[in-house]
């Protein structure tokens, strides 16, 4: 081994000799479960910025896993504590009035400081949604209070058993540390998911099919049933449904007209079931403008398999795409779209057509079809598209 290799080994020894790397059992499951947090998107305009807090909580929990496996036990615990603080801040901003929220958020952004004591006092004294949820999940909040004290002990090095030198000399504690960290992690995942519910109950409402079929397509995803059972508890979720927050949302939204299955597939999954066209047309008043445009094109020809509008997801029809390469690259499609209508362009082993109009030239419609469109089909598509575009004011 050369001098350079010897020096590198020495550096590694000095940097990592005190660490005890550990593999976290079920790590893949935890990483998948955490999608329940990042997918619980906040859709309200006035609290839209809280999504950054939601995403940060997920990242901090992932960081804790990465740090733990590398052997940085105290740093992993610090990341867990940070996730709790960010989640509390999220609940705090959510509870403020519009005027207070704008002011406090601006101050927080400038000073980069929000004392946990102030946040805690406000949540416990004035935040009605938080106070109600804290009663429902009392057992969980009691547990997290104890865990927070333990995390503070580790982070602040209160006791020799938190020292790296002590951990290195007691390597047989490895199994104990894994069990302890797993307990902390699972509890914090549940805590963040619960605190997310102080903003709105949408992740739980969407679990109810009756409610799901009354809500438009949302970025928010429902909590997975297994996730609820593992991290929160079905009983507590049922109790949560009796809170004023949940009931207010439920009572308001249950009045919405319920989608039939074909309409729900179009609105929520962008699947245009032409074979059940009558069902969709019976609820045409529930469709967005873009839904209507895609529908009008889809029923123009049975050759059409997919429809793409601007930067939005594909709509797909009952007609299965015969394209060999199913990978979609918007740059390829846009590269052979011109500023005028053009149809029947070769696209791999199928065809792509493009249509726009003078009123909204930036809104290009991309239509994939398995065989060439006839002149009659092209005329029908153009007429319906132009007619719809003339009616809307984007």
pLDDT tens-digit profile of 321-331?
998 877 766 66
Q: Using CA atoms, how far apart are residues 121 and 144, in angstroms rounded to an integer?
A: 17
- Which pLDDT value is given to residue 150? 95
Write out the two tokens for 50. 């809280």
Confidence bin at 107 (pLDDT 50/70/90): confident
Mean predicted confidence (pLDDT) in 65-78? 94
Residue 180, phi then psi, degrees to nearest 5:
-65, -45
- Which pLDDT value is given to residue 360? 57
Mean predicted confidence (pLDDT) in 152-166? 84
Q: Residue 313 in 3-state DSSP?
A: coil
Strand 342-347, strand 365-369: pairing = unpaired
Q: Where is pLDDT greater, at 175 or 86?
A: 86
- Which pLDDT value is given to residue 390? 73
Over the stretch 352-367, which tens digit does the pLDDT of each residue have?
898 876 665 567 788 9
- Which pLDDT value is given to residue 358? 61
Q: Where is pLDDT greater, at 168 or 235?
A: 235
Q: Residue 200 in 3-state DSSP?
A: coil
Q: Where is pLDDT greater, at 117 or 113?
A: 117
Percent of the chain with pLDDT over 90: 65
> Model's pTM, two decimal places?
0.86
Write out the two tokens for 233. 């508890």
User: How many residues comprise the chain?
Assistant: 394
Q: Where is pLDDT greater, at 310 or 156?
A: 156
Residue 327, phi then psi, degrees to nearest 5:
-75, 130
Mean predicted confidence (pLDDT) in 8-23? 81
CB 356 within 8 A of CB 363: yes
Element at 353 (helix H, strand E): strand 350-355
């Amino acid at each position: 081994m050369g001098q350079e290799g010897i020096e590198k080994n020495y550096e590694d020894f000095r940097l990592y000799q005190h660490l005890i790397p550990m593999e976290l059992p079920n790590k893949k499951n935890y990483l998948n479960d955490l999608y329940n947090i990042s997918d619980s998107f906040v859709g309200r305009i006035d609290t839209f910025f809280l999504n950054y807090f939601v995403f940060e909580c997920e990242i901090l929990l992932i960081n804790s896993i990465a740090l733990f496996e590398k052997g940085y036990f105290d740093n992993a615990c610090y990341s867990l504590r940070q996730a709790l603080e960010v989640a509390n801040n999220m609940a705090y901003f959510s509870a403020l009035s519009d005027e207070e929220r704008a002011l406090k958020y601006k101050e927080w952004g400038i000073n980069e400081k929000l004392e946990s004591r102030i946040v805690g006092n406000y949540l416990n004294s004035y935040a009605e949604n938080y106070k109600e949820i804290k009663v429902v999940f009392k057992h969980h909040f009691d547990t997290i209070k104890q865990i927070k004290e333990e995390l503070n002990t580790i982070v602040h090095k209160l006791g020799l058993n938190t020292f790296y030198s002590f951990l290195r000399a007691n390597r047989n504690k490895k199994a104990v540390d894994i069990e302890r960290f797993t307990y902390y992690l699972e509890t914090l995942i549940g805590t963040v998911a619960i605190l997310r519910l102080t903003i709105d109950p949408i992740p739980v409402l969407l679990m109810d099919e009756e409610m799901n079929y009354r809500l438009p397509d949302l970025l928010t995803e429902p909590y997975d049933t297994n996730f609820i059972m593992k991290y929160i508890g079905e009983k507590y979720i049922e109790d949560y449904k009796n809170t004023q927050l949940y009931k207010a949302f439920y009572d308001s939204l249950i009045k919405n007209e319920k989608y039939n299955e074909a309409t729900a597939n179009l609105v929520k999954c962008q699947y245009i079931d032409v074979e059940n066209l009558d069902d969709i047309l019976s609820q045409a008043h529930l469709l967005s403008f873009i839904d209507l445009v895609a529908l009008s094109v889809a029923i123009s020809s049975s050759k059409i398999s997919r429809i793409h509008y601007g930067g939005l997801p594909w709509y797909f029809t009952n007609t299965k795409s015969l394209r060999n390469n199913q990978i979609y690259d918007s740059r390829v499609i846009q590269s052979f779209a011109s500023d005028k209508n053009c149809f029947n362009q070769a696209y791999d082993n199928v065809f792509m057509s493009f249509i726009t109009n003078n009123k909204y030239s930036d809104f290009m419609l991309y239509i994939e079809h398995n065989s060439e469109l006839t002149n009659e089909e092209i005329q029908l598509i153009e007429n319906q598209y132009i007619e719809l575009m003339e009616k809307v004011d984007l």
